[in-house]
Amino acid sequence: MTSSIPEIGEAENYDPLDAVDRKARTLVNQIQKSKHFIAFTGAGISTSAGIPDFRGPDGAWTLRAQGRQRTSKTVSTLQALPTPTHMALVELQNRGILKYLVSQNCDGLHRRSGILPDRISELHGNSNREYCKDCGKEYIRDFRAVATYEKTVHDHRTGRKCALCGGVLLDTIVNFGELLPAEPLESAYTNAKRADLCLVLGSSLTVPPANKIPDIVGQKKGAKLVICNLQKTPIDKLTNLRIYSKTDDLMIRVMEKLEIPIPQFILHRRLVVKLETKDQRRQLVVCGVDVDGTHATFLRSVKLEYNRRVIRTEPFVINFRGDIAPGTELKLELEFMGHYGEPNLEIIHEYQDGPDTEVLYLLEYNPHTGDWKTGIQNDLTASEEEL
């Protein structure tokens, strides 16, 4: 990734709302005719969540170049709620309309909102994802992991160790002067070459090589490039439709004209409860996983009813000394990181004797109401019950 930090932020422009509405209708027609529709997102889609952009008049890099301090209030990426733009893209993905998403953002909101791992290239990394330098195992975490020792910006050690092999864990953030990850970049190029429509949302398109993705579509005969950004971009001349608007204002209109509701953000968690035998003793192991099976850390502690011990470190393991009758209900109290104010949750796990067993619990938290909903997935079917 190459640096090009401006000393003076590019001026922002706004189309009249009636023009935005008219252009939204044109975009809808293009979406409906498209066979391989992709989107490309930048920091501008997260500003309404309270996360500053980089190159706007008060962008992070603009302020740094000018030697100014930020005076406006910001929101931590761990506490930010995905915006209407994020959730519109999720729904378009779920309906098979949006085929692929390429993002420059590392705030983690796309994955948290519900974009599937195999449908997105996070070209500049994800602040919630790390990987083992030795075995390559990936981890998703719901907290900041910062090494306690002094290190440079290009030292990606998080201070944590791999649970599988004990190797050093590295963050996935791509800094200036570093190469983009090969696999996500190749997937982005592949989808750009297939695309007949690319919608750019909230990006100034000034950082290579990520900005080459929309350029590929814009240069392709018969394909359409649409850019929605408040500032000018270097490839505006390649667009079929140029929209100066906040991305939420555009996407709300687009979804209305498609007659597709924008879903409310729900925080999805997947919890595995495994019964294992180790050294001739039974133990219960509790751990989080992402939708693709990647280990996910989102719990602070786990407590078994009638057991005074609270387990506060991973792996969350509960050992049983005596015999437990099959069918015994084990009440587990889960404490979460609480970035969205999640209250503790109690799940009742039925003890099954015999070979090692594993149950996948589907947890859904509504940050707007403060309510949990739980379900159990057995193979490919899931049943739900409200707590």
First to last CA, the chain: 47
198 is in an annotated binding site: no
Rounded (to 5) percent helix, strand, coil in the chain? 20, 30, 45
d(CA 78, CA 69): 22
Of 124, 156, 295, 349, the catalytic one is 124
- DSSP for residue 333: E
* Domains delineated in the chain: 17-127+173-258 (3.40.50.1220), 130-172 (no CATH), 267-386 (2.60.40.1970)
Token representation of residue 225: 């490039």
The alpha carbon dihedral of 60, 66, 72, 73 has a sign of positive
d(CA 101, CA 58): 27
**pLDDT (0 to 100) of residue 63:** 43
Sequential pLDDT tens for the chain (387 residues): 655 555 566 789 999 999 999 999 999 999 999 999 999 999 999 999 999 865 555 544 444 544 545 455 789 999 999 999 999 999 999 999 999 999 999 999 999 999 999 999 999 999 999 989 899 888 999 988 766 666 677 788 888 888 888 899 998 899 888 889 899 999 999 999 999 999 999 999 999 999 999 999 999 999 999 999 999 999 999 999 999 999 999 999 999 999 999 999 999 999 999 988 887 788 899 999 999 999 999 999 999 998 889 999 888 999 887 777 888 899 999 999 999 999 999 999 998 776 778 999 999 999 999 999 999 986 544 444 444
228 is in an annotated binding site: no
Q: Which of 207, 205, 206, 209 is nearest to 225 (CA)?
A: 205
**pLDDT (0 to 100) of residue 53:** 65
d(CA 234, CA 240): 14
**pLDDT (0 to 100) of residue 56:** 52
**pLDDT (0 to 100) of residue 387:** 41
The strand order across the sheet containing 37-41 reads 120-122, 98-103, 37-41, 197-201, 224-228, 241-243
d(CA 37, CA 194): 9
Q: Are 185 and 161 in contact (CB under 8 A)?
A: no
**pLDDT (0 to 100) of residue 148:** 67
Residue with tokens 């090692």: 356
Query: For the whole model, what pTM was predicted?
Result: 0.90
287 is in an annotated binding site: no
**Amino acid identity at 372:** W
**H/E run at residue 336:** strand 329-336
**pLDDT (0 to 100) of residue 65:** 46
For residue 86, indicate whether it is catalytic: no
Q: Which of 343, 172, 171, 377 is nearest to 267 (CA)?
A: 343
Main-chain dihedrals φ then ψ at residue 219, nearest 5 degrees: -85, -15
**pLDDT (0 to 100) of residue 320:** 83
165 is in an annotated binding site: yes
Q: How far is CA 221 from CA 34, 89, 205, 217, 240, in A?
A: 14, 25, 21, 8, 12
**pLDDT (0 to 100) of residue 151:** 66
Token representation of residue 123: 């070209």
